Amino acid sequence: MSKVALVTGAGQGIGSAIAKRLAHDGFAVALVDLTEENTKNTAAAIKAAGGTSISLAADVSDRQAVFAAVDQTVSQLGDLNVVVNNAGVAPTTPIDEVTPEQLEKVTMINTGGVVWGIQAAHAAMKQLGHGGKIINAASQAGEVGNPNLTVYGSTKFAIRGITQTTARELAVDDITVNAYAPGIVRTPMMMDIAHEVGKNAGKDDEWGMQTFAKDITLGRLSEPEDVANAVGFLASPDSDYITGQTITVDGGMVFH
């Protein structure tokens, strides 16, 4: 029987590339997004390549919905080995404009969604009687401060902490917890950020993108597949001796 992975935010961008990569690597994949409809392109691509997926609707900020998606995955696909907590939102938030509603909403999706995903994965893997791998979406904006991203950056710094903490808590159950920190990836999310940052400065989208892209050592923006390659590694046995780490996949923007 194939191994089973669940990917949140699998409808587009990085989550879609991760789901396709894991299906290519032999996983049966549960595609989770706000609606099942959102996942139809990813599901079609996986099917066309001979892979297996199911589509599930869940808002990751809703703990019960995340637990239900994990339960559905186990009942429909028979197992759970890898959970990728990828879904996230990235509104542009100049410091003087941050509102309580925005702070709460983004935190509940980006940080809460990862906490619920880890809880649900842990419960399911314990019940199944085996370990597994949990992989969380951080960001280079969770490693250094980025202008206009106070709220988003705070959630992504938090993901690295949650990853380290739960790696220590779940090792006893043979579960590793790691994260990936993308740089500037060509996805709808990044296009929106570039647009807003450009607009706030009275400039165009290209200017907005260049404020983020100019420091990339490898001299090009990231494609979603660049990130999926690293997640494929974190989901594979080759990463068995790695836990609590955040792997930076940013073409050389942040060096440690």
Ligand X SMILES: NC(=O)c1ccc[n+]([C@@H]2O[C@H](COP(=O)([O-])OP(=O)(O)OC[C@H]3O[C@@H](n4cnc5c(N)ncnc54)[C@H](O)[C@@H]3O)[C@@H](O)[C@H]2O)c1
Binding residues for ligand X (CB under 6 A): 8-9, 11-15, 33-34, 38, 59-61, 86-90, 109, 137, 139, 182, 184-185, 187-190
Instruction: For ligand X, give the closer residue by CB, 125 or 159.
Output: 159
Instruction: For ligand X, give the closer residue by CB, 62 or 131.
Output: 62
82-85, strands of its sheet edge to edge: 53-57, 28-33, 4-8, 82-85, 132-137, 175-182, 246-249
| C-alpha–C-alpha distance, residues 111 and 88, integer Å | 9
Q: How far is the CB of 76 from ligand X (least distance, A)?
A: 18
- What ranges in the chain are assigned the alpha helix state H? 13-24, 40-48, 63-77, 100-106, 113-128, 150-170, 188-200, 205-213, 224-234
Q: How far is the CB of 155 from ligand X (least distance, A)?
A: 8
3-state class (DSSP) for residue 113: helix
Catalytic one of 27, 152, 180, 212: 152
Instruction: For ligand X, give the closer residue by CB, 130 or 220.
Output: 220
Q: How far is the CB of 145 from ligand X (least distance, A)?
A: 14
Residue 241 among the catalytic residues: no
Instruction: For ligand X, give the closer residue by CB, 110 or 176.
Output: 110
Q: How far is the CB of 189 from ligand X (least distance, A)?
A: 3
| C-alpha–C-alpha distance, residues 135 and 246, integer Å | 9
Catalytic amino acids?
A: 152
